[in-house]
Chain A
Amino acid sequence: MSEYAPQSSLSSLKRARILFDRSPADAFLATDVIVQDDVYLASMERRKRYLLGSAAGKGAEGKKSSTKKKSKTSSALVAVATVDDDDADDDANVKTRSESGALITYDSISKQDDDNEAQNENRILVKRDNTSGGIKVPTPTWHAPWKLATVLSSHLGWVRSIAFDPSNKLFATGSGDRTIKIWNFPKASVGADDALQLTLTGHISPVRGLAFSPRHPYLFSCAEDKQVKCWDLETNQVIRHYHGHLSGVFCLSLHPTLDILVTGGRDAVARVWDMRTKHQIHCLTGHDHTVACLLTKATDPQIITGSHDCTIKLWDLIAGKCQTTLTHHQKSIRAVAAPSFENTFASGAADCVKQWQAKDGKFLKNYSRHNEKIVDSMAVNDDGVLVTGGDDGSMQFWDYTSGYQFQTGQSKVQPGSLEAENGVMAACFDGTGTRLITGEADKTIKIWKEDPDASELTHPIDTKGWRKTCIAQAKQRY
């Protein structure tokens, strides 16, 4: 993941944007709104500490963090905050106007590793009712709506898995037609004819999981034929088999720092493999049903599995034992996703999408208005856009941090397909987070991008609706 793209040029470009964009907001923020009381100062202190820590961490690990978070965003936040002020009066449900009238800063998860003055501006303002015990309405970040850019149809079956090359030049798709296809990403994103570079055959059942190794020229694939294969992309051959699953393998993930491969499948276990020796290190048993999705992380819990038995398990990789079982979901969990900018993860089931604290599995929030669609795929990009793809072709776009659903829609089937073949089976953002690739049940691969013409004026945030949702959620009884 380290050699993603031209980071230096991007950051310099961003710097320029910051310089030009910030000034009007600056004036507004600094003079009018901020009352520098004790709470504010305390929060600033905390932020400083946090930022220092995270900056150090990022520098050392060389990971791509959310440095691409545009400065545009922060000004947008301010604008939203003011809108909040305006229509706070007519909303009878919340007493937003507090007695003291004090505004306190609500720290967003901003990871600006810029200088201090940049920090000052990057905050979200939220009015908090001190007296009513505080129903917090987090201000959603504005995101441009996404629209379909390109459709690639070459597969002969459902496209069930997508993986991106660390260099962001290639991506691979695995399908129900038992093949893995490798695509040239720049060509594919413009829909060029020669985008398809390679078709790998070898599996004898639908390919359910794919992963490129960031440290080796290897592609890993798992399929419903119980096989886990390691492909050498220099010779395009299978060089290793990881033998041991007793039934179809449904998900696959590579450990970010260790040469370890984790697979989960219909035999209700997750297996940890040593990449080189092909030995099974651990067999993580405990689920009662198919393990449908997996996450691997560098810190504990290093493995997170979601299963059809409606539980999420956090695993202690060292001991090979379950660390925590999360039973909040009512329906089987088919997708999990973790963002790169904070230590949380989201899980999607047919009942709702939930966000968790990755450190210990503490439940954080529900993503409302999910409409009980069966979630088959999830992906988060660095801007904090969470996309969930449904079994019926429905797609929802959320602001990851606040849980605001800013876009919902239905994927269109390619002409000649049945209506029932509308389903988003896999979703993946590219390395930069500007393109979304979805693998669909109508045998196509669709590439989505943000609408360049959209702005906050053309696609405003539904503040009222959002406030109502938040309040409804806060008042929900369990």
Chain B
Amino acid sequence: MAPALTLPPPRNAPPGTQQPAATAGKKKAPPNNTKPRSKAPSYAERCCLAREAASKNPEERRRGPKLFVPRSLQDFDDGGAYPEIHVAQYPRHMGNPHLKKTAGSGAAGAQTTSKAIVSVQVDKDGEVSYDAIVKGGTNSDKTVYSRYEDLAAKEAKEEDIALPTAEEEEATTAKTKAALDMILGKHTALDKPSGTAIINAQTSQNQEAKTQFIKYTPNPDAPGYNPAAAQRVIQMVPKQVDPMMPPKHKHIQAPRGPAEDPVPVLHAPAKKLTKEEREAWNIPSCISNWKNTRGYTIPLDKRLAADGRGLREHTINPDFATLSESLYVAERQARQEVRLRAQVQKKLALQEKERREEELRELANQARLERSGVVVAPPKGGGDESDLDDDGEDGIKVRTVRDTTNNSSSEPSNAHKIPATDDEVAAAQRERLRMARKREREKELRMEQQKKQKFEDERDVSEQIALGVHQGTGALAGEVDARLYNQSAGMDSGFGREDEYNTYSKPLFDRTAGVSGASIYRPSRDEQANADDQYAELKAGATSKFQAGKGFAGAEGGMAVSAGPRTGPVQFEKNK
């Protein structure tokens, strides 16, 4: 064992010869104890080893040389894992779980320590000071408050909050002044240019200094050579620069320097805002109704919010309400008044009516009394008939008349037949006349109506249709020929034979119902009416072939003028 540990292994030892010796002592060699190998076995070597091992039985294999298992950094030879070796491999010790156990002690532990890990520090009481992490880095020269005590209120010590003494102030001032003067010195040095800056500056002195005179001999062969001026002098002057020209450079914000290490946040997270608070602080996005240079599509609600229309408070003049209220009141009052007036009028009318009835009743009463023979005073009001009846004469006559009528009450018609007085005769006359006139009027009316009816009945069909008297059977527009329905066998089936006259599925007029055939098949009144005209026309040799009411030759009635109006279509007979 001793030489194996002390001496380095032979450089080109055949694989497997040294391995058992090195690993004999420990069953599982920790990675840091595996012998440093200058070079990992090549692929061929490993294959050879593996083939040998495969040929052996398990017992021999256990005793025989170990297979190559990459453990240390050298085994990986600065490369990745070996895919053909089926063991867990940790190139560069990445994620090596075995390494943790030995992290503190061995060389492998040292390999993994990085700068990110801060060594544990303890304070004077032996407590771990966890704030070491925030006090390092850029915060190392700063005061960092990280402890709980820094959060709590405390009494300041007198000497800590004492005003600085004059000496302190002076010392600080002097120190600061010196430091700042140094910085300022650099600045002012830049302000006071020297060397090339002075030479290049646009001063009048420099202008003069920089003005050059160059003697120049033109080329005699060049075009435009003037032999009179064999020598020329050129004055070179620096270009003038406008001293008032604005500077060409522009101030821009310098990029931020490297971020400083953060300091612990010593305040509680801010109170979470409630929805109302959030809404109260919501500021609508800045949207103009006039400009939208980038042409964004702006939602309508945002536009309206930007308008500030929602912010405006609408106030309606209270007079509107007053006006409508008073209108309503006035209307109701007017209606009430109208109703009241109507009621009053109705009542008055009722009273009037009652009064009339009363009068009538009185009259009737009086008449009854008169008739029964009781003499009464004539009614004070005096109706029309009474006016008509008594012509300013006495009531005795009346009474006598009544008497007579009363006497012959058993046969009332007798009273007419035997007119007693002139008045009665005149009255009967008038009555007769009236009746006659009435009859006359009634007759006239009847005739008028008849005439009218006749005229209507005899109107031409086309006129009647034009006037909308007839609706026809297939009245409704857009109605379809019924034969078009139920067409399973095509056009041939429903329409019958070709020569059959069945263009219409229904007749235009339903002859059985309302419209009389008579009105259709009767010659119109006009043609028949004026016989003289007809006659004149005939005499003049009128060519009108068809005449109303004239029969057709070969038809049922023959040429003879058919008796009475036709009631149906002309029917022809087949020639035999």
One digit per residue, 1 when the CB lies within 8 angstroms of any chain B CB and 0 when it does not, for chain A 263-299 equals: 0000100001010010101100110000000000011
CB within 8 Å for A318 and B187 given contacts A298-B164, A328-B266, A478-B268: no
Q: How far is the CB of A356 from chain B (nearest CB, A)?
A: 9
Interface residues of B in 151-185 (CB under 8 A from A): 151-156, 158-169, 172-173, 175-177, 179-180, 183-184
A473 touches B153 (CB 8 A): yes
The interface residues of chain A lying within 8 Å CB-to-CB of B260 are 286, 322
Q: Given A50, A298, A344, which contacts B172 in the complex, CB threshold below 8 Å?
A: A298
Among the listed stretches B251-259, B357-365, B495-503, which one makes contact with chain A, having 4 or more residues with CB under 8 Å of it? B251-259
The interface residues of chain B lying within 8 Å CB-to-CB of A362 are 145, 150, 154, 156, 160
CB within 8 Å for A279 and B188 given contacts A136-B155, A327-B267: yes
The interface residues of chain B lying within 8 Å CB-to-CB of A358 are 161
A365 touches B166 (CB 8 A): no
Closest to B148 in A: A478
B184 touches A474 (CB 8 A): no
Quick check: is B142 within 8 A (CB to CB) of the other chain?
Answer: yes
A50 touches B180 (CB 8 A): no
The interface residues of chain A lying within 8 Å CB-to-CB of B191 are 277
Q: How far is the CB of A171 from chain B (nearest CB, A)?
A: 25
Interface residues of A in 323-382 (CB under 8 A from B): 323-331, 341-344, 351, 357-366
A50 touches B158 (CB 8 A): yes
Quick check: is B264 within 8 A (CB to CB) of the other chain?
Answer: yes
B162 touches A344 (CB 8 A): no
Expressed in whole angstroms, the Cα–Cα distance for A203 and B257 within the complex equals: 32
CB within 8 Å for A60 and B184 given contacts A244-B251, A359-B160: no
How many residues on chain B are close to A (CB under 8 Å)? Answer: 51
Expressed in whole angstroms, the Cα–Cα distance for A272 and B148 within the complex equals: 34
B145 touches A361 (CB 8 A): yes
A328 touches B165 (CB 8 A): no
Expressed in whole angstroms, the Cα–Cα distance for A117 and B494 within the complex equals: 141
Quick check: is A260 within 8 A (CB to CB) of the other chain?
Answer: yes
B173 touches A50 (CB 8 A): no
The interface residues of chain A lying within 8 Å CB-to-CB of B154 are 362-365
Interface residues of A in 175-190 (CB under 8 A from B): none
Query: Could you say which of A50, A324, A473 has the most chain B C-beta atoms within 10 Å of its C-beta?
Result: A324
Among the listed stretches A51-59, A210-218, A389-397, A442-450, which one makes contact with chain B, having 4 or more residues with CB under 8 Å of it? A51-59
Closest to B172 in A: A299
Interface residues of A in 454-476 (CB under 8 A from B): 473-474
Query: Could you say which of A331, A357, A363 has the most chain B C-beta atoms within 10 Å of its C-beta?
Result: A363
A478 touches B143 (CB 8 A): no
One digit per residue, 1 when the CB lies within 8 angstroms of any chain B CB and 0 when it does not, for chain A 54-70 equals: 10111111000100000
Quick check: is A72 within 8 A (CB to CB) of the other chain?
Answer: no
Q: How far is the CB of B117 from chain A (nearest CB, A)?
A: 25
Closest to B269 in A: A330
Quick check: is A109 within 8 A (CB to CB) of the other chain?
Answer: yes
Quick check: is B283 within 8 A (CB to CB) of the other chain?
Answer: no
A274 touches B156 (CB 8 A): no
Quick check: is A428 within 8 A (CB to CB) of the other chain?
Answer: no
B180 touches A300 (CB 8 A): no
Expressed in whole angstroms, the Cα–Cα distance for A9 and B154 within the complex equals: 39
CB within 8 Å for A109 and B267 given contacts A246-B251, A361-B145: no
The interface residues of chain A lying within 8 Å CB-to-CB of B163 are 54, 57-58, 65, 341-343
Expressed in whole angstroms, the Cα–Cα distance for A258 and B172 within the complex equals: 10
Interface residues of A in 284-322 (CB under 8 A from B): 285-286, 298-300, 302, 310, 317-319, 322
Quick check: is A232 within 8 A (CB to CB) of the other chain?
Answer: no
Quick check: is A107 within 8 A (CB to CB) of the other chain?
Answer: yes
Query: Could you say which of B145, B177, B184 has the most chain A C-beta atoms within 10 Å of its C-beta?
Result: B145
B175 touches A318 (CB 8 A): yes
Expressed in whole angstroms, the Cα–Cα distance for A65 and B251 within the complex equals: 44
B151 touches A328 (CB 8 A): yes
Quick check: is A257 within 8 A (CB to CB) of the other chain?
Answer: yes
Instruction: Please report whether the interface of chain B is mostly helix, strand, loop or mixed according to DSSP.
Output: loop
CB within 8 Å for A50 and B159 given contacts A258-B180, A298-B173, A364-B154: yes
Quick check: is A17 within 8 A (CB to CB) of the other chain?
Answer: no
Quick check: is B265 within 8 A (CB to CB) of the other chain?
Answer: yes
A361 touches B153 (CB 8 A): no
Closest to A111 in B: B163
Quick check: is B342 within 8 A (CB to CB) of the other chain?
Answer: no
Quick check: is A15 within 8 A (CB to CB) of the other chain?
Answer: no
Q: How far is the CB of A477 from chain B (nearest CB, A)?
A: 10
Quick check: is B263 within 8 A (CB to CB) of the other chain?
Answer: yes
Q: Given B145, B162, B253, B264, which contacts A50 in the complex, CB threshold below 8 Å?
A: B162
Q: How far is the CB of B23 from chain A (nearest CB, A)?
A: 57
Expressed in whole angstroms, the Cα–Cα distance for A107 and B268 within the complex equals: 33
The interface residues of chain B lying within 8 Å CB-to-CB of A65 are 163
The interface residues of chain B lying within 8 Å CB-to-CB of A257 are 169, 173
Closest to A279 in B: B187
Interface residues of B in 206-252 (CB under 8 A from A): 251-252
Quick check: is B476 within 8 A (CB to CB) of the other chain?
Answer: no
Expressed in whole angstroms, the Cα–Cα distance for A366 and B253 within the complex equals: 37
Quick check: is B270 within 8 A (CB to CB) of the other chain?
Answer: yes
Quick check: is A147 within 8 A (CB to CB) of the other chain?
Answer: no
B164 touches A57 (CB 8 A): yes
Q: Given B175, B180, B267, B269, which contacts A329 in the complex, CB threshold below 8 Å?
A: B267
The interface residues of chain B lying within 8 Å CB-to-CB of A244 are 251
CB within 8 Å for A364 and B266 given contacts A267-B253, A317-B176, A322-B142: no
B172 touches A300 (CB 8 A): yes
B156 touches A364 (CB 8 A): yes
Expressed in whole angstroms, the Cα–Cα distance for A351 and B268 within the complex equals: 11
B176 touches A258 (CB 8 A): yes
Q: How far is the CB of B418 from chain A (nearest CB, A)?
A: 114
One digit per residue, 1 when the CB lies within 8 angstroms of any chain A CB and 0 when it does not, for chain B 182-208 equals: 011001100100000000000000000
Query: Could you say which of A47, A318, A329 has the most chain B C-beta atoms within 10 Å of its C-beta?
Result: A318
Expressed in whole angstroms, the Cα–Cα distance for A281 and B188 within the complex equals: 11
A360 touches B251 (CB 8 A): no
Q: Given A60, A107, A258, A267, which contacts B173 in the complex, CB threshold below 8 Å?
A: A258
The interface residues of chain B lying within 8 Å CB-to-CB of A318 are 175-176, 179-180
The interface residues of chain A lying within 8 Å CB-to-CB of B159 are 50
The interface residues of chain A lying within 8 Å CB-to-CB of B183 are 281-282
B151 touches A246 (CB 8 A): no
Expressed in whole angstroms, the Cα–Cα distance for A134 and B381 within the complex equals: 124
Q: Given B145, B167, B251, which contacts A326 in the complex, CB threshold below 8 Å?
A: B145
Expressed in whole angstroms, the Cα–Cα distance for A54 and B159 within the complex equals: 10
Expressed in whole angstroms, the Cα–Cα distance for A298 and B173 within the complex equals: 7
Q: How far is the CB of B249 from chain A (nearest CB, A)?
A: 12
Expressed in whole angstroms, the Cα–Cα distance for A59 and B154 within the complex equals: 30
B257 touches A478 (CB 8 A): no
The interface residues of chain A lying within 8 Å CB-to-CB of B164 are 57, 298-299, 343
The interface residues of chain A lying within 8 Å CB-to-CB of B266 are 326-328, 363
B residues near A (Cβ < 8 Å) are: 142-145, 148, 150-156, 158-169, 172-173, 175-177, 179-180, 183-184, 187-188, 191, 251-253, 256-257, 260, 263-271
Pairs across A and B, CB under 8 Å, 21 listed = A46-B158, A50-B158, A54-B163, A107-B158, A257-B169, A277-B187, A279-B188, A285-B256, A299-B172, A317-B176, A318-B180, A326-B145, A328-B151, A343-B163, A343-B164, A360-B143, A360-B160, A363-B145, A363-B151, A474-B153, A478-B152
A residues near B (Cβ < 8 Å) are: 46-47, 50, 53-54, 56-61, 65, 107, 109, 136, 244, 246, 257-258, 260, 267, 272, 274, 277, 279, 281-282, 285-286, 298-300, 302, 310, 317-319, 322-331, 341-344, 351, 357-366, 473-474, 478
Please list the 9 inter-chain residue pairs (A to B) with the smallest Cβ-Cβ separation, ordered nearest first: A60-B166, A57-B165, A299-B164, A318-B179, A365-B153, A478-B151, A324-B143, A61-B166, A279-B187
Known A60-B165, A329-B267, A366-B153; further 20 A-B contacts with Cβ < 8 A:
A61-B169, A246-B251, A257-B173, A258-B177, A272-B180, A279-B187, A298-B164, A299-B164, A310-B267, A318-B175, A318-B179, A323-B142, A324-B143, A325-B144, A328-B267, A342-B161, A344-B156, A351-B270, A363-B152, A474-B153
